[in-house]
Amino acid sequence: MDALMLIALDLVAITLLAGVLYFRRHRRRDLLVAFVGVNVGVLAVSVILADTAVSLGIGLGLFGVLSIIRLRSDEISQREIAYYFASLALGLIAGLTTTISIVPIALMALIVSALAVVDHPALLRRSEHRTVTLDAVYTDERELVLRLESLLGGRVRRFTVQHVDLVNDTCLVDVRFDRAPGGASAARREPSGAELLGQGIQGGAQ
């Protein structure tokens, strides 16, 4: 009976995590299927391992393999890796727990609640990340920052020049910036990132 209750709790948790939180916010059906599939698969294997005399090494090795599953046909973001790991953790907690108690229930609730909070659209909603290819090579950091702020409509907080092509006169820049509420025009009214280069903006070439 405890096992059935934990399985039911896991199904409720993965429904909240994958269906209510992830899909409603990010609308990727393929990853919704992947999260649920990984969770239910890990849950099933965990239940078998919990009831079978299997060595700890074999169990850890199996879950180590499961934990490095990646989509080779499509790159996924760090956010989606977090959802993958959460789906794995929920399945492990429900499958390996033999008796129902407050601890596994609290841990499952903690996982779902943590992602609900840290992935909320209102949290740090102005902070953005872009990889930008510019049609010029900039040797002056202030000029580069001004160009980036003009294109992105925000204040540059950090940037890294990842690649410079002197033949085609282009450069690839990884940029972290705060988007201005009113777009590019509002960004120009704020203190320029170029003026703040000596006060925290970090840049460089790799």
Q: What tens digit of pLDDT does each residue of 63-98 get? A: 666 656 554 446 778 899 899 999 989 998 998 888
Q: Where among 89, 118, 147 does a domain terminate? A: 118
Pair 96, 132 in one domain: no
Pair 57, 141 in one domain: no
Please return the burial class of 137, using the count of CB atoms within 10 Å of its CB with bins 0-12, 13-18 and 19+: middle
Pair 23, 108 in one domain: yes
Pair 41, 132 in one domain: no
Q: Where among 92, 118, 144 does a domain terminate? A: 118
Say which range, 15-19, 49-53, 123-127, 201-205, has the weakest mean pLDDT. 201-205
Q: What is the domain extent for residue 99?
A: 2-118
Phi-psi region of 24 (alpha: psi -120 to 50; beta: other; left: phi over 0): alpha
What is the pTM assigned to this prediction?
A: 0.73
Pair 8, 90 in one domain: yes
Q: At what angle do helices 29-50 and 78-96 cross, to 10 degrees?
A: 30
* Res 12: pLDDT: 97
Domain assignment present for 51: yes
Q: For the chain, how many structural domains are there in total?
A: 2
Q: Where among 118, 137, 172 does a domain terminate? A: 118
